[in-house]
Chain A
Amino acid sequence: MKSHCWKLFSTLLYLSAFTFGGGFVIIPLMQKRFVQDLGWLTDEEILDMVAFARSAPGAVTVNVAVQVGTHIAGIPGALCGIFGTIIPPLLILSAISLFYDAFSSSFVIAALLYGIRTSVAIVVADAVAVMVGDIFRSKEYVRWGVMSVVFILSLTTSINTIWLLAGGTGIGALIAGRSRS
């Protein structure tokens, strides 16, 4: 358990250092690491955690980390998850708040950030394609419908995510119940 805690902490430490652009980036990365490499979670479990994390207040990444930690090693795990996730942004932002002017005008940093942004888009595109593919392969049309409607609404309107999640699940459950009976 101690080695699990350490591995969780170090994994989240370096994943968190790469989550440019918010919670969406870290989720595919966590999925690859925790599901495929370490085998600690299943695909379904990580998606549940993301859904719960988005329904709870606060930063999605931190909320997912808490749940992964709890799942792996109880409360010590949750603490390892939290600290692993917040230490990189805390350090980076504290440093930047001191050297903001130098940071924002540096040519090298601008180029590097540009490169990393494109690379992150590549990794995310790859992981999301796999998730969407899984849903389409499942041959369950209610799931296709829920995914597409939530996708379109979330892209075109500014409805809060929590309503999209709750509504998608509720309406989907109603339709599924009716078609089965």
Chain B
Amino acid sequence: MSALIFRFLYIGLFSIGGGLSAISLIQDEIVERLSWLTEETLVDILAIAEMTPGPIAVNAASFVGMRLYGIPGAVLATCACILPGCIISFLISRMNEKLYKNDRWQNGLKLLRAAVVGIILSGSLVILKNALYGEGSELNLLSVGCFFIGLAAYRYWKPSPMLFMMCSGVCIGGLHSFVTQFFLG
């Protein structure tokens, strides 16, 4: 059990810059060095992590912990994996409050914000591509149609995002399965 906790502490501490670096660490540590997971299970976890909410490292930790030690394993692995990041973010956040009045810091932050928007933009293009292309490599016209109609509805009525995602998730999912079932075989 302590091995599990230390592995995920390590993964949590060194996965800087988001999900991809976490995946390669999990691959090195959990699959190749410790063989707690097979290569196939890792691919499955990645597929599940794509389909389910939550950060990929947290998803992997919960899944591996649950497999190895049941519920306590899942909880401890997850906490271990987020702990380093939480502590460091907390410290940064405190430091930022102290530096807030500093002019040079403020100027740096302005550009940092622009850089973050650039990164968010490229991340959102990936999300868009995954949604519109689906499994195949061709543009899925039905998805494109749903996307633009949905976007128009979202901008027009300005519903709460949660309500919108639940309703339109059910509608688009239903429509998609209806169309693929009856028109495309």
Task: List chain A positions with a Cβ less than 8 A from chain B.
Answer: 14-25, 27-29, 32, 44, 47-64, 66-67, 70-71, 75, 78, 82, 86, 88-90, 92-94, 96-98, 100, 103-104, 107, 110-126, 128, 131-132, 135, 140, 142-144, 146-151, 154-155, 158, 160-162, 164-165, 168-169, 172-173, 176
Contact = CB atoms under 8 A, between A and B. Distances in A.
Nearest to A82: B86
B2 interface: no
B19 A58 contact: no
A93 B127 contact: no
A89 B118 contact: no
B102 interface: no
Interface in B108-163: 108-128, 130-132, 134, 143, 146-147, 150-151, 154-155, 161-162
Interface residues of B, number: 92
Contacts of B19: 22-23, 59
Given A89-B62, A118-B172, A66 B154 contact: no
Contacts of A120: 127, 131, 165
Given A53-B89, A168-B118, A123 B59 contact: no
Contact of B93 (A18, A70, A165): A70
Closest 4 CB pairs of A and B: A58-B85, A89-B54, A115-B173, A150-B118
Contacts of A61: 54-55
A151 B86 contact: no
A47 B34 CA distance: 38
B82 A116 contact: no
